[in-house]
Amino acid sequence: MKTNLNTKTEITFEDFKAEVLNDYKLAVTSRECSLLGRREVLTGKAKFGIFGDGKEIPQIAWAKAFENGDFRSGYYRDQTFMMAIGELTIEQFFAGLYANTDLKEEPMSAGRQMGGHFATHSLDANGNWKNLTEQKNSSADISPTAGQMPRLLGLAQASKIYRQVEGIDTTKFSNSGNEIAWGTIGNASTSEGLFFETINAAGVLQVPMVISIWDDNYGISVHARHQTTKENISEILKGFQRNEDDKGYEIFRVDGWNYPELMDTYQRAAKVSRREHIPVMIHVQELTQPQGHSTSGSHERYKNKERLAWEAEYDCNVQMRKWIIENNIASDEELTAAEREIKKAVREGKKAAWSAFINPIYAEFKEAINLLDQLASTSPNGVFIRKLKNDLETIDEPLRRDLLSATRKALRYVVSESSVAKTNLQNWITNYIDLIQPKYSSHLHSESQLNAIKQTEIKPTYDANSEEVDGRVVLRENFDAIFSKYPEALIFGEDAGYIGDVNQGLEGLQEKYGELRVSDTGIREATIIGQGIGMAMRGLRPIAEIQYLDYIMYALQIMSDDLATVQYRTKGRQKAPLIVRTRGHRLEGIWHSGSQMGGIINLVRGIHVLVPRNMTKAAGFYNTLLESDEPALVVECLNGYRLKEKLPNNIGDFKTPLGVVETIREGEDITLVSYGSTLRLVEQAAKELQEVGIDAEIIDVQSLLPFDLNHDIVKSIAKTNRLMIIDEDVKGGASAYILDQILNEQNAFEYLDSQPKTLASKPHRPAYGTDGDYFSKPSVEDIFEAIYDVMHELSPDNYPKLR
Nearest to 23 by CA among 454, 453, 320: 320
Side-chain half-sphere exposure of 676, counting CA atoms within 13 A: 27
Q: Are 730 and 761 in contact (CB under 8 A)?
A: yes
How far apart, in whole angstroms, are the C-alpha atoms of residue 423 and residue 119? 43
The stretches of 221-294 forming alpha helices (DSSP H) are 233-236, 259-276
Amino acid present at 67:
E
Secondary structure string (H, E, C) spanning 309-375: HHHHHHCHHHHHHHHHHHCCCCCHHHHHHHHHHHHHHHHHHHHHHHHHHHHHHHHHHHHHHHHHHHH
- 538 backbone φψ class: left, alpha, beta (φ>0; ψ -120 to 50): alpha
Active site residue 592: yes
3-state secondary structure of 548: coil
Q: Could you give the C-alpha distances from 158 to 139, 165, 426, 671, in angstroms and in order? A: 13, 10, 52, 47
How far apart, in whole angstroms, are the C-alpha atoms of residue 410 and residue 440? 24
Q: Are 574 and 123 in contact (CB under 8 A)?
A: yes
Amino acid present at 527:
T
**DSSP symbols for 116-176:** T-----SB-TTSPBP-GGGS-EEPPP--STTTHHHHHHHHHHHHHHHHH-TT---TTT-ST
- Residues in Cβ contact with 99 at an 8 Å cutoff, skipping those fewer than 6 apart: 46, 47, 106, 111, 112, 114, 357
Query: Angle at the Cα of 392 (from 386 to 393), degrees rounded to 5?
Result: 90
102-135: b (≥16 Cβ within 10 Å) or e? ebebbbbbbbbbbbbbbbbbbbeeebeeeebbeb
* Maximum CA extent, the chain: 104
Active-site residue among 121, 445, 592, 608? Answer: 592
- Among all residues, which ones are annotated catalytic? 592
